[in-house]
Chain A
Amino acid sequence: MKNIFFVTLLLCFGTALFAQETGADKVLFKLPKATVTDMKGTKVNTEKISNDGKPIIISFWATWCKPCLKELNTIAEVYEEWQAETGVKLYAVSIDDSRSSSQVKTLVNGKGWNYEVLLDPNSEFKRAMNVNAVPHTFILNGKGEVVWQHTSFSEGAELDVINVVRKLNAGEPLPH
């Protein structure tokens, strides 16, 4: 009986996984529903994250995470060029809790970043996206489906990010 239970479970997951394999490029998953807050204090449903059919980068970060700041600082230097070339938009989702969430705005302004910044103070969106640790970066296609993800950051990793965005725009298979 126990075996039948597990086989059923496996079958279920199998069905669901197959459902995800459709499409030109492998879609990892659709953006889950979670409530986050923008910098003006307005609640935003994560399903509504969009960019007029162009690719989106979602980067999970925190004010206390050094590699995260390095990643966002590095991209900030070339962000305007990236936007002009590919139309990409970056959502920087801060997982700072109420200890430091009030400092997010101060830091973002202090650094002069032009990203769409979202606050996820109780990690609701982080959990829904199965993020283990920050930094964790996702790339979404024009339909809002996650097609690529990467954890950690080192100098030069931003080149991979823009490379994936370019390939998405060109309709080419993505590198992994």
Chain B
Amino acid sequence: MKTHLLTYATFLAALICIFPSLLQAQNSSIGSQVNGNFQMDAQYYRVDSAIGALPVPEKMQMNSWTNITYTSGDFNAGLRYETYLNPVNGYDPRYKGTGIPYWFVDYKTGKFQITAGHIYEQFGGGAIFRTYEEHNLGYDNALNGIRVKFTPAKGVELKGIYGTQRYFWDKGPGIVRGADADFNLKDWIPSLENSKLRVRIGGSFVSKYQADEEIYNSSQEKLMLPLNVAAGAGRIDLGYGNFGLNAEYAQKINDPNATNNFIYKKGESLLLTATYNQKGLGIILQAKRLDNMGFKSKRTETGNVLDIGYLPAITKQQTYTLAAVYPYATQPNNEMGMEAQVNYKIAKNTFLGGKYGTDIAVNFSAINSIVKELVNDTTLLDESGTLGYKSPFFKVGDTKYFRDFNIEIGHKFTKSFKLLFTYMYEEYNTAIIEGHIDDTVLVHANILVAEMTYKLSPEKALRLETQALLTQQDEGNWVMALLEYTVAPKWFVSVADQWNCGNEDTEKRFHYPLAAVAYNNDANRIQLSYGKQREGIVCVGGVCRNVPASNGFTLTITTSF
């Protein structure tokens, strides 16, 4: 049986690969090509009980993946080989293993595009449907099924998807199906063609099915679970000259699940964005409300897996080490917030702009809870098997989740010296964001970062980052310095130290030194680092993961071909 399968596979591989090559000989416009990329992260661990780096029995751990894509004319196929032996510290241990969890075939013909296999797709902003992967976080909710895209006319795009989602090396129990329509009115209404007005509208519908299971409320009565849960979303994108307005509203019918304590309330979300843009000035204002919108293809799941919708945080993603110590993570079931940002360039050859101009960015975000009111006198808030709560749409809740005010100024003083200065004030609710139920702490932190770059020659530069995080709560004050020497475009060498100088417990005022060297050539990169890594949260896009403390070597190799 196995031999048979391989015979077929060989035959198929030969057909897929050789056939287009033959065609290519006849018709030079159809070329076939193979591309791909590779990444490996390997860590060697040393025990360091002081900073909380626990013994790792295998001493070394490794994550790696290789993508290979084959393209021939309108045909496209690819696969990804992944190996986690064993998953690097901080990754979900359920990734342990080796295999090909991702493959697809895709064909475009005229107005149709058909994809079978594993699919990454997004409807609108993604509120009710987005599948994507973020390897550096170990996140992958690929849809295993089919997708059809149909473009009946210019400015119209219809999409349909049907499948199950990736669950580590397995599939989630729920079936997800959906459709999306997107219209760019400029292509429809001739008078809009040359007008300042831009209008784009879209709508989507998604439904998940999961078989019944036995789940009980607090009185030990079995819940009548909805087997099919539907969600719908509508969006509009308006532009007039320099102004823009974008809105996306989504609703989900009753979906009792582990993230909402099995309540039957419907869910809704709204994201409003207003922008003003001209050369040298950009302004953005956002408002957001999330109410019971956790949407996964497995009822009992609470982790960062099997998400059907994507509800990003509307806070600025900080990248300096100490500014990223307290990152916000979206609370899909209960959150109300706003963000404002202004980017401004002071023109060059002015008093404040100097010879090269000055970049200024100011950003503010505030996130609170929504208001929850009792459904009636006999039902507790969030009681399983009930409607859970009522929530007035426009009222902001009292619980403060997060505040971030930051200002960033970038100025080039001379041809060889640049300074980037950041100040940030942050408030961070550990109980809500990290789920520490017993010790509610609102961390107030002031963060200062100065980054200086000095060019020694056209290819050689020194970069110094100095950072300070000042707080009375949590682990107290931190300071950090990083010095990097680069020889463009191939070499990077850096040394850094983080010091928890303000820890209340003087025994815990640890240093975390880290040295790294990297070599780049074309699309190849090798990086080796050695030192201590503090425990912390790493976020990319909307997902965060907790990285435990470690002490040791890390080797990263990446390449694209």
Using a CB–CB cutoff of 8 Å, the interface residues on chain A facing chain B are: 1-2, 4-5, 8-9, 11-13, 15-17, 19-20, 28-30, 32-33, 40-43, 63-66, 73, 77, 97-100, 102-103, 105-112, 121-124, 127-133, 136, 148-157, 159-160, 176
B positions within 8 Å CB-CB of A: 3, 6-7, 9-10, 13-14, 16-18, 21, 24, 31-37, 39, 67-71, 74, 76, 108, 120-122, 125-126, 130, 132, 136, 157, 184, 186, 198, 200, 237, 239, 244, 246, 273, 275, 277-284, 286, 310, 312-314, 317, 319-320, 341-345, 356-357, 359, 361, 410, 453, 455, 457-461, 463, 486-489, 492, 518, 520-525, 541-542, 558-561
A144 to chain B, nearest CB (A): 12
Query: Taking CB as reference atom, which chain B residue is nearest A62?
Result: B317
Q: List 18 A-B contacts (CB under 8 A).
A: A8-B10, A12-B18, A13-B68, A15-B18, A15-B21, A19-B21, A19-B32, A32-B76, A43-B157, A97-B312, A98-B125, A98-B126, A112-B357, A122-B126, A148-B522, A155-B463, A157-B489, A159-B458
Interface centre among B3, B18, B32, B121 (most CB of A within 10 A): B32
Taking A122-B122, A155-B486 as given, write out 20 further A-B residue pairs in contact, using a Cβ cutoff of 8 Å, ordered by the A residue number.
A5-B6, A12-B18, A12-B70, A19-B32, A30-B31, A73-B359, A73-B410, A98-B312, A99-B317, A105-B244, A105-B275, A107-B343, A107-B361, A109-B278, A121-B122, A122-B121, A130-B37, A130-B67, A149-B523, A155-B455
> A112 and B492: CB pair below 8 A?
no
Which B residues are in CB contact (< 8 Å) with A8?
Answer: 10, 13-14, 17
**Which of the residues A19, A111, A150 comes within 8 Å of B343, measured between beta carbons?**
A111
The answer for the CA separation of A98 and B202 in the assembled complex, in Å, is: 15
Residue of A whose beta carbon sits closest to that of B22: A15
Asked if A16 and B489 sit within 8 Å, CB to CB, the answer is no
Query: Which residues of B have CB within 8 Å of A41?
Result: 184, 198, 200, 237, 239
Q: Is the interface of A mostly helix, strand, loop or mixed?
A: mixed
Q: Smallest Cβ distance from A149 to chain B, in angstroms? A: 5
B16–A5 CB distance below 8 A: no
Complex alpha-carbon distance, A91 and B63, angstroms = 32
One of A15, A151, A154 near B461 (C-beta < 8 A): A154
Cross-chain contact B17 with A12 (CB below 8 angstroms): yes
Interface of B, secondary structure class, is strand
CB pair B359 A110 closer than 8 Å: yes
On whether the beta carbons of B10 and A13 are closer than 8 Å, the reply is no
- Decide: B35 and A130 in contact? CB cutoff 8 A: yes
Closest to A40 in B: B198
**Complex Cα–Cα for A160 and B458 (A):** 11
A17 touching B34, Cβ below 8 Å = yes
CB of A65 to closest CB in B, whole Å:
7
Residue A155 contacts which of B132, B341, B488 (CB distance < 8 angstroms)?
B488
Residue ID in chain A nearest B360 by CB atoms: A110
Q: Are B200 and A19 in contact (CB under 8 A)?
A: no
Chain A residues with Cβ below 8 Å from B342 are 110
Chain B nearest Cβ from A123, distance in angstroms: 7
Which residues of A have CB within 8 Å of B9?
A: 5
Residues of A within 8 A of B320 (CB): 66
Question: Complex Cα distance A52/B554, Å?
Answer: 45
Across the interface, do A130 and B122 meet the contact criterion of CB distance under 8 Å?
no
Determine which residue in B68, B524, B558 has the highest number of CB atoms from chain A within 10 A of its CB, and name it. B558
- Whether B520 and A150, one on each chain, are in contact in the complex, defined by CB atoms closer than 8 angstroms, is yes
**Looking at the complex, which one of B3, B282, B344, B525 makes contact with A108 (CB distance below 8 Å)?**
B282
* B345 adjacent to A112 (CB under 8 Å): yes
Q: A64 contacts which chain B residues (CB < 8 A)?
A: 317, 319
Whether the Cβ atoms of B560 and A149 lie closer than 8 Å is: yes
- Bound together, the chains give a CA A132 to CA B184 distance in angstroms of 32
Contacts of B341 in A (CB 8 A): 103, 106
Q: Which residues of A contact B453 (CB under 8 A)?
A: 155
* A106 close to B284 (CB less than 8 A): yes
Q: A176 to B524, alpha carbons, bound, how many Å?
A: 11
Q: How far is the CB of B406 from chain A (nearest CB, A)?
A: 13
Q: Say yes or no: A151 contacts B281, CB within 8 Å.
A: no
B426 CB to nearest A CB, Å: 16
Q: Which residue of B18, B76, B246 contacts A102 across the interface (Cβ within 8 Å)?
A: B246
Bound: A9/B126 CA distance, A: 37
The 7 closest A-B pairs by CB, nearest first: A110-B343, A12-B17, A106-B282, A99-B312, A156-B488, A154-B486, A155-B461
A148 to B246, CA, bound (A): 38
B13 touches A105 (CB 8 A): no
A156 touching B458 by the CB < 8 A rule?
Answer: yes
- Shortest B128–chain A CB gap in Å is 12
The docked-state distance in angstroms from the alpha carbon of A135 to that of B303 is 30
> Which of A1, A9, A97, A159 contacts B488 (CB under 8 A)?
A159
Q: Give Cα A9–Cα B167 distance, bound, in whole angstroms.
A: 29
Q: A28: which B residues are within 8 A, CB to CB?
A: 561
* Residue in contact with B13 in the complex, picked from A9, A40, A136, CB distance below 8 Å: A9
Q: A77-B356, A112-B279 are in contact. Are A130 and B561 (CB under 8 A)?
A: yes
The chain A residue with its CB closest to the CB of B132 is A122
A112 to B523, alpha carbons, bound, how many Å?
29
Residues of A within 8 A of B33 (CB): 16, 19-20, 29-30
Chain A proximity of B49: nearest CB distance (Å): 33
Residue contact B343 to A109, C-beta cutoff 8 Å: yes
Q: Which residues of A contact B186 (CB under 8 A)?
A: 42
Choose one: B184, B356, B487, B560; the contact of A136 (CB below 8 Å).
Answer: B560
